[in-house]
Amino acid sequence: MALRLCQYFGVVYLLVSVVYGAPELLTNPGFESGLNNWVHDGFTMTAEKSVVHSGTSSVKCTGRGQSWMGPGQYITPKPGGRYAFSAYLKLINDISGTTYQNAAIKINFKWKDTGADDYFAVTSRPFLNVARGWVHIGADFQVPNREYTQAKIYLEGLAPHVDFYLDDASLTEIPEDRAWKAEANQRIESLRKSNIHFKFNVGSGFNVNDLRVEIDHKKHLFGFGSQMPADYLVNPDFRQYQNIAYYMFNWATIEQYKWPYNRGTKDNPDFSVAVAATDELRRHGLNVRGHCMFWAVPGNQPSYASSMTGQTLKDTVDSHIRYITGITKGKLSHWDVNNELLHGRFFETHTGDEHYSYHMFQAVHAADPKPTLFLNDYNVVAYGEYTLAYLDQIQQFKAANVGLGAVGIQSHFPGFTAPDPTLMKYRLDLLAKAGLPMWVTELDLSAHDENTRADWYETALRLYFSHPSIEGIIFWGFWDHDMNPNMALVHGNTFALDKAGERYLQLTKHEWSTHVNRSLSAGTSFDVRGFQGDYDVIVWYQNKPIKIQSFSLGKSDVTVNVDISGNGQAIHLPTHTDPFVFVPVQHATTSNGLRTEGHATSTSTSHQLTCTTHASGESEVGDDKEVEVGCGTDEVLTGCSGYLKNNDWHKDGERIVITNNKPSCKAVNGYRTTVGIKAYARCCKLSGLTCTYKVAGPSGTGVDDQVVAPCASDGFPLGCTAHTYMSDSDGSFITNTSCVAQNDGISQGVYAYAACCKGGNIKCTTVHSAPSGHPVGARATVTCPAGQVMTGCTVYSTNAKAAGSFIEAINGVDTCVAVNGYERFGHEEAVRAYASCCSA
C-alpha cells in the first residue's frame, strides 16, 4: 500500500509517533552517546550539549550544501511491518526571503532482487521556521513487502545552508491488532449505549395480558451524515434524493458555503440556495455543517481576493465573516473555518500575519457563538502523513483560546485499498491527546466490487463509531451522480442501494439500533440497554395502538414512566413511506428559442442517395475546447455526433454551425476530460436534397426537461444532436418529425440541433437499439433496414452520461454506435443508439 502511494504522489507520507512500551529499534536514539551509530555525508555533524530537547546531548548539523543532506541510521525493519518514527527538530537559521521550510523523513532501501535504490518517503513536515523552536516530526508507515539488503532512515528536505538540531529520535514497531473488531464492539457497547428504566403505570381498566409495547430507536445521538449538494435539497425534481437523505442520515454538510461558490458578485453576494437547503434540512430534523467559510490552500479563494494583500485582504475577510454569519446565524451547528490549514497558508502569507487564522476563528465565534468551530484536514487518519503535524496545530489553536471547539478528520482513504484498523486506531489515539471532540467529516473509499466496498466501509465505520473521541461520521456524498460510483452507496436515477448502502443501513438501523417488542404480561417494569438517541414508545392494547410517547436517551441512564389510561381507543400512528420507492419526475417540454441557422443543397446530379462519414482530429483537452468538421463540395451535412475515445461522459455535446456559409459539425469538450473530443459529420449527396438547420433551446433546467426542434414543412430529421454548457445532458433522439434533446441534473438546459431535409423523393424512418450493457465503454448498435441508407446517428440515455456516438462500418454495414460513459447499477438503463434511415 505505502509503495503505491509513493508512486502516486511522488512521495509516501504516513503517520508516526512513539509506540509506548514497544522496544526501541534505533541505537543511541537520543544522541546521549554522541554520534555513535549515526551517519552523514557531505556536511558537519557534531554532538551538542548546550541545546537539547531532553537529556544531555543532541546533534548539530551544519554546512549542508544540498537539501538531501541530513543525519541517518541503518535499520532492519520487517518487510510488510508497521512502524512509528519520531524525532524533535529545531532550526538554527531561516533563509532570507523564505517564510517557511519543509523537512522530510525517508528510508533509502536497496532492493535485493534488483540491487536498485528506492527512496521511500515516511513523512513530511511543512511550515517550519526558527520561531517554532523544537518541533515534533514523525509518522507511522508500513514497509513495502519486499526483501532488501540495506535500509537507512534519514532526515532531508530543508533548504541548503539551513542548520538545525535533532534530538530524541525513536523507531518502534506497531503490532497488528488482530482483535480490533472485538475490542471495537466492546467500546461500542460501553460508549454508545445507556440504560433505560421503564415503568408502565397500567390503569385499572386494562388487562396486562392484552398489552404490549414497542420501543423504537428513531434517531441516533451520534452523528451519521453526508455531504449533500444544496441544489438537490431545494429542487422538487430531486424529491427521491431528499427522501433517502432524510431517512439515512441525521446530519448533513453543505459545501456551497465555500467562498468561491458565491452565485452573486463581490458587492452583492448570493448564497441563498445554501441557506435554503440548510433550512430544509433543519425542517426535517437534520443538523447542518457549514463547509467551509475560508480555504487556506491557494487557488481556493474568489478571483477578486486571490491577489489581495495586507489590510485590504483583512477588511475583505472581515466583511465576508459579517455577511455569511448574518445569513446563517443560529442555523448551523458546525463551521469549518479555514479549511486544510496544514496544506496552505494563503491568508497568513497574504496578510503578513503568521497567526491570522486565529483572528478568523475569533471573529466567527464573536459573530455567531452557536456553531462549533473546526479545523479540518486530510492525510491525518486515512493516511498518516500529517497526523503529528495536525496534533501540533490543534494544540496550538487550543492554547491560543481562539474558539476552536472540535477537530475534523476528512478520511479520504487511498484508492482501492482496504482501511487498516491498526493504523487508524493508532492515529486516532494520537489525535485524541489534544482533548477535543473529533468528527469524521469527509469519508469515502473506493472498490470496484460492491461487496468489497461494503466490507471496507464497515471496517471504517465500526472503528470510528467505537472511538471515544469521535462524535460523528459524515460521508463525502452517497449518490453516484454526486461522486465516483466506486465510492457510492446509492446508484442511478432509480436510486438503487448497493451492498455498501445495505451494509450501512444494516449497521445504523439494526445492529447499532435498539428495537424492543414485548408483552407487559411479563412485568410492567423492566430495563433496556439501548443505543443513545431519540425513541418512540408505542402501547398496543388488544392489537390496537392506544398511546405513543417519545423520549431521548443521552450518555446518562434515564427513567421513562408511561401512564396507560383512558378507554383503550385506538390512535392513528404516523405513516412512513419507503424512501426507495420510485418517485417519477415531471418534465417540461418546450421549443423555446426555435430558429433556423442556415440552409444547404447538394450539388450532386446523382439520383441515388449515398452518405459518408468525415471525422475530425481530436480537440485540445479541457473545458469548452472545440473541434469542427464539414462535408465535401457536392455533399450536405445530414448528421453530427461526437465521441471521447476514453469513454468519458464529460462532454458538452455537439452543435451544427454555419461556417463560411457551409454547415459543419462542431464537437465541444467538457470539464474534467483527459482526452480531446472528435467530431463526426455525416455527409450525403443526392440531386435536389436540401437541408434546413434548426436549433431550439435552452430547455428547462429540471431533470428530464426536453426541448424539441421540429422539422415541420422543412422535411424529415435526418440528423439530431444535443449540446449543453455543463455536460448534464441525456443526449438526443429522433422522431419521425423532430429532434428532441433532454436535460439531466440541474444545469442551464440543453439545445437541440436538427438537420431537416427534403427533396429527391427521399423517404425516411427512424430506428433505435436496445440498451447497451452497464460497464463503461459498453456499446449499443443499430443498423438500417435493407435498402435504406443511414443519414444520422445520435445517443440517448434516460440516465445521462454517454461517451458519444458515431457511424462506422461493421462487417461492411454502416452502423450507428452509441457508447456508455458511466458504470450503471441494478435496473438502471445505459445508452441507446438512434439513427435516421432513408431511401430515394
Per-residue pLDDT tens digits for 156-199:
999 999 999 999 999 999 999 999 999 999 999 999 999 999 99
Q: Contact at 8 Å (CB) between 179 and 129?
A: no
For the domain that residue 290 is a member of, what is the CATH number? 3.20.20.80
Which residues make Cβ contacts (< 8 Å) with residue 377, sequence separation at least 6? 339, 340, 341, 342, 343, 386, 390, 408, 409, 410
Claim to verify: residue 329 and residue 442 sit in the same structural domain: yes
Contact 532, 553 (CB under 8 A): yes
Domain boundary among 143, 173, 203: 173
- Asked if 49 and 107 sit in the same domain, the reply is yes
Give the amino acid at 201.
Answer: N
- Please give the single-letter amino acid code of residue 400: A
The enclosing H or E element of 242 equals helix 239-248
- Residue with cell string 471532540: 437
For residues 792 and 764, is the Cβ–Cβ distance under 8 A?
no
Rg (CA), the chain: 33
Cα 105 to Cα 337: distance, rounded to the nearest angstrom: 30
Peptide bond into 698 cis (omega under 30): yes
The answer to whether residues 6 and 117 belong to one domain is yes
Q: In a 10 Å sphere around its CB, with 0-12 CB exposed, 13-18 middle and 19+ buried, how is residue 558 labelled?
A: middle
pTM of the entire predicted model? 0.91
Is the distance from CB of 443 to CB of 460 less than 8 angstroms?
yes
Task: Tell me, yes or no, whether 167 and 234 share the same domain.
Answer: no
Task: Decide if 682 contacts 613 (C-beta within 8 A).
Answer: yes
Residues 564 and 609 in one domain: no
Q: Which residues, 6 or more positions from 481, have their beta carbon under 8 angstroms from its beta carbon?
A: 492, 493, 745
* Cα dist from 24 to 290, 345, 408, whole Å: 44, 36, 32
CA distance 499 to 199: 40
**Residues facing 637 on adjacent strands:** 683
316, 305 contact by CB (below 8 A): yes
Q: Which helix (H) or strand (E) holds 239?
A: helix 239-248
Q: Between the CA of residue 156 and those of 41, 122, 204, what are the distances in Å?
A: 12, 11, 82
Torsion angles phi and psi, residue 499, rounded to 5: -65, -30
Judged on CB neighbours under 10 Å (0-12, 13-18, 19+), 604 is buried
C-alpha cell read off for 33: 552517546
Residue keyed to cell 451535412: 637
727 part of a folded domain: yes
> d(Cα 416, Cα 449) in Å, to the nearest integer?
10
Quote the pLDDT of residue 18. Answer: 44
Given a cut of 50, the residues of the chain with pLDDT beneath it are 1-18
Helix axes 499-506, 450-466, angle to 10 degrees: 30
What contacts 24+ positions apart, CB below 8 Å, involve 393-401? Answer: 393/341, 393/342, 394/431, 394/434, 394/436, 395/434, 397/357, 397/358, 397/361, 398/434, 398/435, 398/436, 400/355, 400/358
CB 419 within 8 A of CB 450: no
CATH assignment at residue 668: 2.60.120.690
Angle at 539 between CA 534 and CA 541, to 5 degrees: 170
Beta strands 101-111 and 148-156 are antiparallel
**CB 598, CB 713: distance < 8 Å:** no
**Residue at a domain's end among 128, 158, 173:** 173
- 710's grid cell: 421540429
Half-sphere exposure of 424 (CA within 13 A, CB side): 26
User: How many Cα atoms occupy the beta-carbon half-sphere of 711 within 13 Å?
Assistant: 24
Cell of 457: 466501509
Number of domains in the chain: 4
Q: Which segments of 403-466 are extended strands (E)? A: 404-409, 438-443
Residue 414 and residue 504 in one domain: yes
Residues 428 and 563 in one domain: no
User: Strand, coil or helix: what is 475?
Assistant: strand
Given 478, 511, 544, which residue is the final one in a domain?
Answer: 511
Beta partners for 119? 108
Q: Could you tell me the three cell numbers for 813?
A: 454495414
Query: Are 563 and 642 members of one domain?
Result: no
- Alpha-carbon distance 620 to 629, whole Å? 15
C-alpha cell at 270: 448570493
Inside any domain, residue 186: no
Secondary structure of 519-536 in HEC code, one letter for each residue: EHHHCCEEEEEEECEEEE
Cβ atoms of 820 and 831 within 8 Å: the answer is yes
Hey, is 219 helix, strand or coil? strand
Distance CA 511, CA 531 (A): 10
CATH code of the domain covering residue 95: 2.60.120.260
Q: Cβ(296)–Cβ(346) under 8 Å? A: yes
What local confidence, expressed as pLDDT, does residue 726 receive?
A: 84
Closest C-alpha to 682, from 637, 733, 721: 637
- Write the single-letter amino acid at 419: P
Q: According to the model, what pLDDT value does residue 21 have? A: 64
Asked if residue 748 is part of any domain, the answer here is yes
SS3 percent helix, strand, coil of the chain, rounded to 5, is 20, 40, 40
Q: For the chain, first and last CA: distance in Å?
A: 63
β-strands 789-796, 779-783 pairing: unpaired
Instruction: Please list, residue by residue across 188-202, b when 16 or more beta carbons sit within 10 angstroms of its beta carbon and e when fewer do.
Output: beebbbbebebebeb
- Cα 652 from Cα 670, distance rounded (Å): 5
810 falls within a domain: yes
> Domain check: are 307 and 434 in the same one?
yes
Cα separation values, 56 from 50, 87, 642, Å: 8, 16, 72
Q: Reduced to 3 states, what is the DSSP secondary structure of residue 581?
A: coil
Closest listed residue to residue 699, CA positions, set 655, 742, 650, 754: 742
Backbone angles phi, psi at 465, to 5 degrees: -60, -30
Do 491 and 565 lie in one domain? The reply is no
**Does residue 193 belong to any structural domain of this protein?**
no
Residue 81 lies in a domain: yes
**Residues 225 and 537 sit within 8 Å (Cβ to Cβ):** no
Q: Is 203 domain-assigned?
A: no
Domain hosting 636: range is 597-839
Residue type, 635: E
Task: Using CB atoms within 10 Å of the CB of residue 203, give its burial: 0 to 12 exposed, 13 to 18 middle, 19+ buried.
Answer: exposed
The whole-angstrom separation of Cα 706 and Cα 607 is 37
* Exposed / middle / buried, residue 556 (Cβ in 10 Å: 0-12, 13-18, 19+): exposed
In terms of domains, do 338 and 479 share one? yes
What pLDDT score does 1 carry?
Answer: 29
206 in a structural domain:
no
Does 310 share its domain with 333? yes
Tell me if residue 289 falls in helix, strand or coil: strand
Grid cell of 172 as nine digits? 518502534
User: Please, which residues bridge with residue 338 across strands?
Assistant: 294
The Cα 201–Cα 560 span in angstroms is 11
